[in-house]
Amino acid sequence: MVDPSTAVPLRADDTRPRRARPVTPVSLHDRRAYGALDLGTNNCRLLIARPADDGFVIIDAFSRIVRLGEGLASNGRLCDAAIDRAVSALVVCGEKLRRRRVHIARSVATEACRQASNGAQFIERVRHETGIALDIISTEEEARLAMLGCSALLEPGEAPALIFDIGGGSTELILVDTTGPQPRAVNWFSAPWGVVSLTEVEPTDQADEAGRIAAYARMRARVADAFAPFAPHLPAVATDAARLLGTSGTVTTLASVHLQLPSYNRRAIDGLVVPAEAMRGISQQLAALPVAERALLPCIGTERADLVVAGCAILEAILDMFPAKRLCVADRGIREGILRTLMARDGCGW
């Protein structure tokens, strides 16, 4: 059937046949909006995008720190205050998804909901109050989506690369082979430490600097123990050839401190390559500061001041295990991986 809006008009005295300009499937896909929601242990993030020739174009976004995993390490449950914060953020996400007339969306929940004894009840409350159906994904699926979302930023090279995602309740490590047409995960590992869970078991808010440094050392040791089963599976790669890509609030925050940005700027951070030693130095400096002083630093502030040290400890444990000379920073991850997957299934994208 010809779309009347695309037909070429005929003059009354012109009986020659005319061909309508075809409507291609791509034009339909270009109008479709796709949604990706990632509810983590610390953050609630949403992206809404439309397909484009070189990937997709973001048309709406939302991010809020909700600390869903607060208190989870000590009592095994999502507390009422954390649930209320998360539901409040998800109400905003639901409104955005409806307002943008999203064609298809996927909403995932990660470590906090995997661990919590009342995770299923929380999921049901979210569905009832917001209309969002959260899918509690496995650690393997979390790692796969993170790789899909950020692997395009890997530096060129032949040796296997390591991608890591420092979350609120866990850290995913993905060993990636890039010799084929598409990056391929050859091994992966999930450690049960993220910025929220590690901070709760090893608080660093001691009054004196010596106490803070000692607490930081305990954090690093705890994470190193968790990584120990995975370390033997990493290839021996020369420092100059080792490729390391990090996606998380930790690495984007430390990169912002490295650049001395007055406020966060995604354009300056996404894809930035930073010397690993510079990130180590910043990590150790932050670990020695009291929380109040960390809160005064641009791009950290009060929301991240108490959690950033745990992220630093995890990052240093990764650098100890995989001593790359440089670190590439990604401000992208699970949400982008979801969008790529949804669009590919619809026949537009990669």
What are the tens digits of pLDDT across the range 279-329? 999 999 999 999 999 999 999 999 899 999 999 999 999 999 999 999 999
DSSP state of 200: H
What is the Cα–Cα distance from 24 to 159, expressed in whole angstroms?
A: 41
Query: The tokens of 155 are what?
Result: 């530096």
Are 213 and 204 within 8 A, CB to CB?
no
Are 66 and 91 within 8 A, CB to CB?
no
As a whole number, the mean pLDDT across the chain is 90
Parse the chain into domains and list their residue ranges: 26-137, 149-334
- Residue of 53 and 97 predicted with greater confidence: 97
Nearest residue to 100 (alpha-carbon basis) of 43, 46, 33? 33
Reported as a single tens digit per residue, the pLDDT across 134-161 is 999 999 999 999 999 999 999 999 888 9
pLDDT above 90: residue 16 = no
pLDDT above 60: residue 72 = yes
Rounded to 5 degrees, what are φ and ψ at 37?
-120, 130
**pLDDT score, position 30:** 59
Same fold, 26-137 and 149-334: yes
Instruction: Report which secondary-structure segment, H or E, holds 210.
Output: helix 209-227
Percent of the chain with pLDDT over 70: 91
Query: The tokens of 301 are what?
Result: 């502030």
What is the number of H-type helices and E-type strands within the chain?
Answer: 15, 11
**pLDDT score, position 205:** 86
pLDDT above 90: residue 115 = yes
Q: Strand 243-247 to strand 326-330: parallel, antiparallel, or no bridges (unpaired)?
A: parallel
Q: Note the pTM of the prediction, 2 decimals.
A: 0.86
Reported as a single tens digit per residue, the pLDDT across 149-204 is 999 999 999 888 999 999 999 999 999 999 888 889 999 999 999 999 999 999 88
What is the Cα–Cα distance from 344 to 350, expressed in whole angstroms?
A: 6
Query: The tokens of 215 are what?
Result: 């607490």
CATH of domain 149-334: 3.30.420.150
At the top level of CATH, which class does the domain 26-137 belong to? alpha beta
